[in-house]
């Protein structure tokens, strides 16, 4: 008898057949003459009934929550069973009898983070990790189809790009080095060779405070494209997010159900997404009673409000130049603003993507670096990209955990990554 995964057993064609499967005890109820074992594997759960008098009964009595076992039984349809089918157990082979599992009901988030290595087995975390895996698959699929090369930048770097104070410093032999916040500066060097490149990578930021949308180590999909202008870059971001939503809705609908997300919500996420400028956003905010001084970056509160006006992800473009990273160029039509965009997630209203055109002009780059208090000499390798055949180009970074927070309806970004790293936690 070949071993079957639970998903393969939950089918009308299996009714009446004797099958063999394996997994872990998800729930167990022991009665005098019967033991009910709910078995889980990576694919699903199924209830087995073990009757007194069968060979399996003695072994079933030994089982505890999370014990691992192999089980054979006859498949029966049963409306009352948790997944619609039940197994009449014939034989049970315990593989490992688990000690008392420390996770019961109603535990605090902090405790569940302490035992994250065990909590990953929960149905909720299992569903999230399946969706996460699908998102990674969708990102690769999208960029490969668009003929992008996958390209890797270093993680250990000599200096910053986005925001100096949030760099993690490491000791590199006798020198200082840092963990990368973004691949961007290296990607800008590579596009004169491969023209269209993307990556999925870990990125690091020493965020100062604990929030529900910041991690200190997070995964990001980044892309950089030669000859590309802002509008085309936004089109690419729109295409990517739409593709991810369509694919997850179609191929992970069962996981979405477990998470309380209707797959139909994601099927509606198709191009075009609304596009508004920062100045237009301020006007909309003012109309609903939120006054933001022109020049200030948008805060979570304001992003949430903007999200509430729409039912799709929203592009906000042309933020004030002064509030932006040094490499974002001034917009020729309104030099107070930069050629850049953020994509705000619907419902939860957090920034999922940040992107821009890149300043081609070496003089204005040097000026911006100085204004930001950076040492221009630290950026010589980057400035070389503006000395030898510079071309217009642009790119963006998608925060994968933030996208998952929205798609999976999670209260906190910490549940969107297997082992979260936050200012207060780098264990387990």
| Among 354, 355, 399, 420, interactor with Mg ion by CB under 5 A | 354
What do you get for the CA distance between the two ends of the chain, in Å? Answer: 39
Looking at beta carbons only, is 87 or 179 nearer to ligand 4AD? 179
Residue nearest to Mg ion (CB): 354
Least Å distance, CB 56 to ligand 4AD, is 48
Out of Mg ion, ligand 4AD, none, which partner does residue 420 contact, by CB within 5 to 8 A per kind?
Answer: none
Question: How many Cβ atoms from other residues are within 10 Å of residue 281's Cβ?
Answer: 24
Contact region for ligand 4AD (CB under 6 A) — 9-17, 44-52, 149-157, 398-406? Answer: 398-406
Subset of 18-37 contacting ligand 4AD (CB under 6 A): none
Looking at beta carbons only, is 23 or 354 nearer to ligand 4AD? 354
* Distance in angstroms (rounded) separating the CA atoms of residues 338 and 318: 5
402 binds ligand 4AD (CB under 6 A): yes
Contact region for ligand 4AD (CB under 6 A) — 58-66, 84-92, 180-188, 253-261? Answer: 180-188
353 binds ligand 4AD (CB under 6 A): yes
* Distance in angstroms (rounded) separating the CA atoms of residues 222 and 202: 10
Looking at beta carbons only, is 353 or 369 nearer to ligand 4AD? 353
Out of Mg ion, ligand 4AD, none, which partner does residue 207 contact, by CB within 5 to 8 A per kind?
Answer: ligand 4AD
DSSP run (H or E) holding 343: strand 340-344
Out of Mg ion, ligand 4AD, none, which partner does residue 218 contact, by CB within 5 to 8 A per kind?
Answer: ligand 4AD
* Distance in angstroms (rounded) separating the CA atoms of residues 222 and 88: 51
Angle between helices 123-145 and 400-407 (to 10 degrees): 120
Residues 163 and 114 sit within 8 Å (Cβ to Cβ):
no
> Could you give the C-alpha distances from 309 to 72, 157, 290, 302, in angstroms and in order?
54, 41, 13, 11
* Distance in angstroms (rounded) separating the CA atoms of residues 136 and 130: 10
Interface pattern 215-254 for ligand 4AD (x via CB under 6 A) = x--x-x-x--------------------------------
Residue 105, burial from CB neighbour count under 10 angstroms (0-12, 13-18, 19+): exposed
Residue 341 φ then ψ, to 5°:
-155, 155
Residues that bind ligand 4AD (CB under 6 A): 162, 181-182, 184, 205, 207, 214-215, 218, 220, 222, 351-355, 395-397, 399, 401-402
Residues that bind Mg ion (CB under 5 A): 354
């Amino acid at each position: 008898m070949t071993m079957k995964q639970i998903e393969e057993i939950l089918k009308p064609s299996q009714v009446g057949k004797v099958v063999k499967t394996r997994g872990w005890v998800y729930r167990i109820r022991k009665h005098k003459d019967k033991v009910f074992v709910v078995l889980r594997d990576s694919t699903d759960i199924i209830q087995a009934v073990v009757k007194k008098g069968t060979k399996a009964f003695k072994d079933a009595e030994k089982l505890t929550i999370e014990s691992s076992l192999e089980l054979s039984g006859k498949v029966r349809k049963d409306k009352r069973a948790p997944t619609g089918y039940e197994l009449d157990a014939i034989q049970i082979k315990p593989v490992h009898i688990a000690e008392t599992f420390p996770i019961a009901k109603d535990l605090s988030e902090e405790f569940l983070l302490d035992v994250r290595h065990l909590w990953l087995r929960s149905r909720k975390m299992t569903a999230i990790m399946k969706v996460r895996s699908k998102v990674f698959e969708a990102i690769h699929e999208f960029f490969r189809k668009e003929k992008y090369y996958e390209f890797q930048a270093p993680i250990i770097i000599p200096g910053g790009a986005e925001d100096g104070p949030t760099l993690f410093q490491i000791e590199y032999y006798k020198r200082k080095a840092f963990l990368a916040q973004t691949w961007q500066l290296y990607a800008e060097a590579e596009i004169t060779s491969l023209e269209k490149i993307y990556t999925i990578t870990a990125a690091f930021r020493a965020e100062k405070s604990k929030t529900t949308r910041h991690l200190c180590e997070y995964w990001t999909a980044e892309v950089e494209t030669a000859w590309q202008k802002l509008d085309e870059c936004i089109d690419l971001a729109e295409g990517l997010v739409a593709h991810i939503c369509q694919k997850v809705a179609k191929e992970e609908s069962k996981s979405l159900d477990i998470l309380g997300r209707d797959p139909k919500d994601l099927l509606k996420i198709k191009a075009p997404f609304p596009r508004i400028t920062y100045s237009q956003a301020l006007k909309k905010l003012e109309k609903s009673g939120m006054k933001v001084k022109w020049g200030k970056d948008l805060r979570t509160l304001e992003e949430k409000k903007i999200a509430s006006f729409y039912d799709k992800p929203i592009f906000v473009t042309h933020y004030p130049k002064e509030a932006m990273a040094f490499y974002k160029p001034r917009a020729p039509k309104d030099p107070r603003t930069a050629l850049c965009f953020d994509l705000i997630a619907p419902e939860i209203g957090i920034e999922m993507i940040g992107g821009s055109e890149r300043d081609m002009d070496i003089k204005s780059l040097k000026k911006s670096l100085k204004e930001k208090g950076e040492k221009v000499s630290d950026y010589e390798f980057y400035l070389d990209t503006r000395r030898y055949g510079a071309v217009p180009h642009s790119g963006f970074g998608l925060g994968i955990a933030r996208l998952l927070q929205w798609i999976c309806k999670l209260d906190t970004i910490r549940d969107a990554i297997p082992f979260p790293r936050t200012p207060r936690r780098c264990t387990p």
